[in-house]
Structure 1
Amino acid sequence: MKMPSYPSWEQTLAGKHWRTVHFPRIREDTPTFLGVPYALDESDLQGADVVIIGAPFAAGWGKKYSGVDKAEWLAATTRVRQQSIRYRGGYVQELDIDVFEHLKVVDYGDIPIPLEASYEGTVERILAAQDMVEERVRQALDAGAIPIVIGQNSPVASYAVGRPVAQHFKGPIGMVSLDTHWDAWPYDWATKNDRIAGSTNWKDKLFRDCQNYGMQNLVEIGERGMLEDPATVRRFVNGGCCFMPMWKIRTELGIEGVIRNLDQAYRGTDAVYAHFDMDVLGGAGPTDGDILGELAEPMGMTDYEAIRIAYETGKRGCAGLSFLCIPPGSAVMYRVIVYCLTYFMAGIAERKRGQNGGA
């Protein structure tokens, strides 16, 4: 599949940012997200409200995932940060709020997941990568911060975030999930191993392993089409989850109806975990411009809808957020992630400001 030509770091940087060249960097070509301080170890997390964590991992064996070169998937943690530095900072003009006036945000860099784990997907390597992510997520939670994990595949950027949240808060946990697919099969497609919470089964395994997740507090948004096993969908719907497929969003709910229904994740829960599988943005079929490869489906969510849901979830309060299946190779798609993450933090900032007696 022919991928669009992604600009080099020099092209991204030249004339497209409002800063000097002196901003924190994780690597020469990788600034911190929006230029926030770089956290080198756990001691740097103290006092933070939000911790940004990169988790580069692509599932399965071989050089491609869903028909797209794995190098393109793995570049997301770098490219999201590269695109973030084109902005002045944390001021969101539509909301007239500067995130950094209310929140301390740090970037904890990329977890050093061995590259082999993405090309030779043995059970041992996958579990080791998962453990590395869980450790950093727990460190953020123990510091009283909200972990935000930028990744590409399960379990690294889903189960490995949702489980520490459940273990940390112990009481009932709600979930807001954006996805094209349910990811709730009873097995992982790549390994067929029951210990792996993979791309096709991480949600099923999370609900089995962490009993404080309840289907009645799951808000599932964006699925569509003919890919799912009917028993899988009906199990969750009959269990009481709020299922909002794109068809229902377009014909009945609209974005305002979606926002109202987010409340179901919060009823009677101690915390909420939000998971944004960005293949929810969809595609228009197998063309050269179909950057999601086999993951692309028609009738996708718009960028505004995803950003608005991120903001509203942050505003209601959220214990952890993860991104995966970020559409590869497109600068504007990486900017969508920058917006989702920043507007989520803006919601958190508005919530904190309100709790502190602000306007």
Structure 2
Amino acid sequence: MPHYPTWPETLAGKHWRNVHFPRIREDTPTFLGVPYAIREEDLQGADIVIIGAPFAAGWGKKYSGVDKAEWLAATTRVRQQSIRYRGGYVQDFDLDIFEHLKVVDYGDIDIPLEASYEGTVERILEAQASVERKVKQVLAAGAIPVVIGQNSPVASYAVGRPVAEHIGGPVGMVSLDTHWDCWPYDWATMNEHIAGSTNWKDKLFRDCPNYAIRNLVEIGERGMLEDPNVVRHYLRNGACFMPMWKIRTELGIDGVVRNLDQAYQGTDGVYAHFDMDVLGGAGPSDGDLLGELAEPIGMTDYEAIRIAHEVGKRGCAGLSFLCIPPGSAVMYRVIVYVLTYFMAGVALGKIARGAEGRQG
């Protein structure tokens, strides 16, 4: 595992303009230095709300061969890396996000540390419920919840279900992942109540009938890990599946972007889920950071950032992150870019809809 810089080392970086910004903790700035929302009323008027959900699944000290402390640090480290940029100006689009969107950081959900080391059903369900409560508050305020986490169900099912309940009508899904997460049971607990790493998507489709498989756009899987019966079930029912092989040999990123439309056809909203083990060994760092989750033919950082941007432009009711590659400063910056370019897409979509309204 590479050396991740300490907070003093990060503060001493040459890109820093000053050290005055809102902080959640001494070593944790808010994302991009946006206002810190500490109460539900602080969400009013927000367009996007950032939420941290530190949770690593299972028993013991490691998840997929990597120390859980490294996984759990993601909510802090993504924010630490974001503060080097401070403002919302994205030069690629000559766009200042914060001129068009109100973004606040709602801090980290208070998930007991024991929940990440003692994988009891009760602790997992308590952690899930804590996330669902905050996501529901954000949705009630009319904002987009963005949950930065590391494992299911807290950074997947606990976001997707409140989104479906809030929208009420048909909901589409855009999912980036190395794995389908569609087994009919959770391997870790073997308990029907848990929407875990191996089954959260299957459970979400069962519990929320307004998600339809025909509006699922699944991107990034590859290799030999899946049960053919699971994959073929989703293909038979109309999912748009874009494995990395097809992206590399046929579609390219522009083909992927065109196919995003399937999540929006006949739906009232879309939930986007970015499982960042999709990067595998691609991007700016070593794939072995992911331990047992690393697979060849990984998605590049640009492809993940571009997809997030296009989803933002089209509209998104909720966004979640998990399996963020641990320990590398540059990989945490990739998440900063994915989220920032997503917000730029949301802003550009808002601008475009405003222009259409004025013309109408």
Task: State TM-score, norm by structure 1.
Answer: 0.97
Q: State the alpha-carbon separation in 2 of the partners of residues 255 and 16 from structure 1.
A: 34
| 1:283 positional shift | 2.1
CA distance in structure 2 between the partners assigned to 1:208 and 1:108 by the alignment: 30
Structure 2 counterparts to residues 255-294 of structure 1, below 5 A? 255-283=253-281, 290-294=288-292
Q: 1:175 aligns with which of 161, 173, 176?
A: 173
> Which of 145, 148, 151 is the aligned partner of 1:147?
145
Letter in 1 for 2:50: I
- Greater mean deviation of Cα atoms: 198-207 or 17-26: 17-26
Aligned mates of 2:225, 2:287 — CA distance in 1: 22
Corresponding position of 1:25:
23
Q: Which amino acid is 1:176 matched to?
A: V
| Matching residue of 2:4 | 6
**Matched AA of 2:88:** G
Tell me if structure 2 keeps the 8 A contact 1:73–1:152: yes
2:92 match: secondary structure:
coil
Match among 308, 311, 323 for residue 310 of structure 1: 308
Shift of the alpha carbon at 1:320? 0.2
2:96 is matched with which residue?
Answer: 98
Kindly state the Cα deviation for residue 289 of structure 1 after the two structures are TM-superposed: 6.5
Encode CA deviations 1:245-296: one digit per residue, 9 max, x unaligned: 0000000000000000000000000000000000000028xx9871000000
Partner AA of 1:273 in structure 2: Y
| Alignment partner of 1:239 is 2:241 | no
Q: How much is the aligned-residue C-alpha RMSD, in angstroms?
A: 1.3
Cα distance between partner residues in 2 of 1:113 and 1:16:
34
Amino acid at match of 2:132: E
Q: Is the 8 A contact 2:287 2:294 kept in 1?
A: no
* 1:354 aligns to 2:356 (yes or no): no
Structure 1 residues 17 and 32 mapped into 2: Cα distance closer, same or farther (>3 Å)?
farther
1:251 paired to 2:249: yes
Contact 1:16/1:86 (CA < 8 Å) preserved in 2? no
Which one-letter code corresponds to 1:44 in the other structure? D
Residue of 194, 217, 220 corresponding to 1:219: 217
Please give the alpha-carbon distance, in whole angstroms, between the structure 2 residues aligned to 1:106 and 1:143: 12
Among candidates 145, 153, 156, match of residue 154 of structure 2: 156
CA gap 1:288/1:18 in 2 versus in 1, 3 angstroms: closer
Query: Aligned letter for 1:99?
Result: I
Q: Deviations over 1:71-130 (max 9, x none)?
A: 000000000000000014111111111110000000000001000000001000000000
> Once the two structures are superposed, what CA deviation does each residue of 1:19-48 show, in whole Å capped at 9, x if it has no partner?
421100000000000000000010000000
Q: Which amino acid aligns with 1:8?
A: T
Q: Percent identity?
A: 82
User: In structure 2, how many angstroms separate the alpha carbons of the residues matched to 1:189 and 1:95?
Assistant: 44
SS state at 1:218 partner: strand
Q: Contact conserved, 1:274 with 1:322, CA < 8 A, in 2? A: yes
d(CA) in 2 for partners of 1:186 and 1:293? 24
Q: 2:317 aligns with which of 311, 316, 319?
A: 319
TM-score scaled to structure 2, two decimals?
A: 0.97
C-alpha distance in 2 between matches for 1:237 and 1:16:
50
Residue 204 of structure 1, aligned match among 170, 190, 202: 202
CA contact under 8 A between 2:33 and 2:86: conserved in structure 1? Answer: no
Alignment equivalent of 1:194, drawn from 186, 192, 195: 192
Match of 2:40 among 39, 42, 64: 42
Q: Where has structure 1 moved over 4 Å in runs of 4 or more? A: none
For 1:27 and 1:77, the matched residues in 2 are separated by 12
Q: 2:64 aligns with which of 44, 66, 90?
A: 66
Q: CA deviation at 1:226?
A: 0.2
Number of equivalenced pairs: 355
CA drift at 1:18: 3.9
Match of 1:296 in 2: 294
Contact 2:50 2:147 in 1 (8 A): yes
Q: Distance in 1 between matches of 2:148 and 2:304?
A: 15
Measured in 1, the distance between the counterparts of 2:117 and 2:193 equals 19
Classify the secondary structure of the residue corresponding to 1:292.
helix
Map of 1:83 onto structure 2: 81
1:13 is displaced (CA, Å) by 1.4
The answer as to whether partners of 2:220 and 2:242 remain within 8 angstroms in 1 is yes
Deviations for 1:41-69, whole angstroms, at most 9, x for unmatched residues?
10000000000000000000000000000
8 Å CA contact 1:149–1:157 kept in 2: the answer is yes
